Amino acid sequence: MICSPFVGAKDLRARALTLRSERFATELCWQEILDGIATEKQKLGKLPPGIAVLRAECDAVFLSRFLAFLELGKPAAIFAPDCTPQEFQVRRQLLGPAFELDRDGQLTWEDLSQPVRHHPETAVVLFTSGSTGAPKAVQLSRRNIEANTRAVIRSLDFDRATEQTLFLPLSYSYGLLGQVLPAFATGVPSLLLERFIDVRELLDAGEARGMWSGVPSHWEALLRLTRGQDGKCQGITHVVSAGAPMSVDLRKRLRERFPRATLYNNYGLTEASPRVLSFSSRDPAFFVEGVGYPVGDFSVKLTPEGELCVQGSQVMLGYLGDAPGTAEKIRDGWLHSGDGATLAANGLVTIHGRKDELFNIGGERTSPHEIAAALRDVPGVEDVAILIEDDPLYGAKILAFVVCGDSLAASGRAGLQAALASRLSPLKLPREYFRLTRLPRGANGKLLRAELAALKGSATRIT
Amino acid sequence: MLDRIRNSLRKAGMNPAPDSPDALLADYGLDSLMTAMAILELQDEFGVKIPQKAVTPENFESLSSLAALLGSLGAGKPE
C-alpha cells in the first residue's frame, strides 16, 4: 500500500499499469506520479522567493511538479498553456515576485522587483475573470484544497469509479482540483485527452468507461456524438457536469442515453476551491429542479436581496493584490457568490443566475434565468438566452434568443407567447424572439453575452 | 462546395461564419468543442467519414483547407 502525505496518509490503490503516452491520450498511473513527485522535488533545489509560474500542460510532468510544489508548501500559479503573451503579462503582474522553471527545473526567468504580497498560506493561485472582465488571482491554501478533495470524493462517489476520462483543461479549477486531485487521492486511473475531439477515438473503440466530466456544452456534443451508437457508451458510470447550469431537459436526455450511469450536477466558484453544491440522479428531485446540496462543511444563506452566500473550509484566502476586491467578496466570513438563489427546506439550492442580472420590469423584480427556464420547458426549444435592454416605459425590454426546431419557429411569435402564457406573468413575456442555430458560448460553456448582443442584427427574428 | 461547408459550420455554432475562403476559422471561434460539432455536420452534409488522423489544425484552418480535405475524402464527386 502506498501512503500519500497529501490527503492525510490516505492509502492509494497501487495499479500495475504502464504509463503510456498515446498519440492522443496519456494514461496516468498514480504510482508513477508519486515517483515523479519525488523526482521533481530533487530537481527543484533551492527556489527563489515568490510564486512559481506553472503552465498546465496536459501531461504527467506538469501534474508531478504541481503536486511536488503542493507537498513542499511552495506557492504555484497555474497558467493555461495557450495563454497569449498579453494575457500572460496581465496575470503575471498580479502575482508580485514570481519565477518560472523549465522542465529540468532550471530557472528560465525571475522577477523579484516587487515586495512579496501573497498570503503566507497560499498554496495555489488560479485565475478567474472578475465581473469587469479583468482577471483576478484567487489564492487557495492547502486546507482549502484538501477540503474540496474530500468533499468531491464523497459527492461524486469517487470510490465507486473504476477509471475516469478527462478532457477538461488542467488550468481550470474544475479539471485540476475537482477531478485530478480526487482521482489521485483515491487511486482512480485517469486518461488525459489533450483535445475534446479525441473522445471520438474512445467512443469508436468502445473504450468509453468510468467517470466522464465536462461542462453542459460537452455533454450536448457527446449526445450528438453517441447518437445511434448506444452500445458504445454504456460503460460510462458517472456523468459529471459542472461549470455552467445544466437544464433539466439536458439531464433527462442524458438519462436516456446513459441509463446505467449516475448523473451529477454541480455548482462552484474558483473562490470556493471550487465545489459548493452537488446533486445526483439518485435524488428524485434531480429531474424536476434544483442545482444541488452544499458539499463538505459548507453553510449557506441568502442575503435579503436573494444572493447566495457560503461559509466553510473551502473559502479562498483572498484575491492576490486586491484587498478591496476581497473585502467586497468575503464579508463577515461569508463568501458572496454573486448569484441569486432560493433555498428549499431540505437544503436543496436553486440558482437563478447572476445577482447583477436581476432587473425590474413594470415594477416586478425578475431574473433572466426565470424567463429562460420557462422557455426551455416549451416543447421544441433546445437552448435559450435572454438579453435585457433598457426600456423608457417599463424599465426593461426582454429579448429571447432561442435554438429551436422548424415547427416551433413556424408557429411564430404568437405560438411562443401562447406556450409561455401559462408559465410567466404578462410583464415577463419576451418582447422579441430571435432564432439562432446555436448560442455563443465560451470554452467552459458560459454564455458570451457581448457576442449575443452583437448577433441581434444578423439573427432571424421570429414574427 | 464552399457554401455547403459554410452552412455546416453555421449549424455547428459558428455565427457568423467567414465569407473569405482563406480566413482563419480559429478567429471565428473554432475550438475543440466546435470542431467536434463541425465534423458531425460536415459528415452529414457530404456523406463522408472524416477520420481522426485528418482532424489537424492544418485541415481545419480555413474553408479552403476543409474543401481540400473533403475533396480528398471523395466529397463532391459525381455518383
Closest chain A residue to B10, measured at CA: A437
For chain B, give the mean pLDDT: 89
Say what the pLDDT of residue A189 is: 87
Instruction: Report the range of poorest mean pLDDT among A7-16, A249-258, B9-18, B48-57.
Output: A7-16
Q: Where are the alpha helices (DSSP H) in A141-240?
A: 142-155, 173, 181-186, 199-204, 216-225
Query: b vs e for B41-62, b when ≥16 Cβ sit within 10 Å of the residue's Cβ?
Result: bbbebbebebeeeebeeebbbb
Q: Can you list the domains of chain B with their CATH numbers?
A: 2-72 (1.10.1200.10)
**Residue A97 CB-density burial (10 A; 0-12 exposed, 13-18 middle, 19+ buried):** middle
Domain borders along chain A are 2-349, 358-462
Residue A299, C-beta contacts closer than 8 angstroms, at least 6 positions apart: A310, A311, A312
- The answer to whether A197 contacts B37, with C-beta atoms less than 8 Å apart, is no
Nearest to A224 among B16, B31, B37 (CB): B37
Sign of CA dihedral B30, B33, B34, B36: positive
End-to-end Cα spacing for chain B: 16
Q: What is the SS3 string spanning chain B?
A: CHHHHHHHHHHCCCCCCCCCCCCCHHHHCCCHHHHHHHHHHHHHHHCCCCCHHHCCCCCCCCHHHHHHHHHHCCCCCCC
- The answer to whether A196 contacts B40, with C-beta atoms less than 8 Å apart, is no
Say what the pLDDT of residue A459 is: 86
Residue range B53-60: average pLDDT?
91
Say what the pLDDT of residue A450 is: 81
Q: What are phi and psi of A84, to 5 degrees?
A: -75, 160
Say what the pLDDT of residue A133 is: 62
Which residues of chain B have a CB within 8 Å of the CB of A197?
A: 32, 35-36, 39, 52, 55
| DSSP structure string for A293-339 | EE-TT-EEEE-TT-EEEEESTTS-SEETT-HHHHHHHEETTEEEEEE
| Residue B55, min C-alpha distance to chain A (Å) | 8
Mean pLDDT of successive 10-residue stretches along chain A, which has 463 residues = 32 30 61 86 88 93 93 94 87 96 93 95 90 83 96 96 92 95 90 87 87 92 87 93 90 95 97 98 94 97 93 98 95 95 95 76 72 87 88 78 89 88 81 89 75 85 87
CB of B33 less than 8 A from some CB of A: yes
Which region, left, alpha or beta, applies to residue A334 given φ > 0 means left and ψ of -120 to 50 means alpha?
beta
Say what the pLDDT of residue A131 is: 59
Say what the pLDDT of residue A362 is: 65
CB of B26 less than 8 A from some CB of A: no
Whether A2-349 and A358-462 share one fold: the answer is no
Say what the pLDDT of residue A1 is: 26
- Alpha carbon B67 to chain centroid, angstroms: 7
Asked whether residue B79 carries a pLDDT value surpassing 90, the answer given is no
Say what the pLDDT of residue A29 is: 72
- The answer to whether A221 contacts B37, with C-beta atoms less than 8 Å apart, is yes
Sign of CA dihedral B64, B68, B69, B70: positive
This complex has an ipTM of 0.82
Residue range B9-31: average pLDDT?
85
Class of domain A2-349: alpha beta
Say what the pLDDT of residue A28 is: 74
Q: What H or E segment, with its residue span, contains residue A451? A: helix A449-455
Instruction: Using an 8 Å CB-CB cutoff, list residues of chain A that contact chain B.
Output: 24, 167, 195-201, 204, 217-218, 221, 224-225, 436-441, 443, 455, 458
Residue range B21-48: average pLDDT?
89
Domain A358-462 adopts which CATH fold? Answer: GMP Synthetase; Chain A, domain 3 (3.30.300)
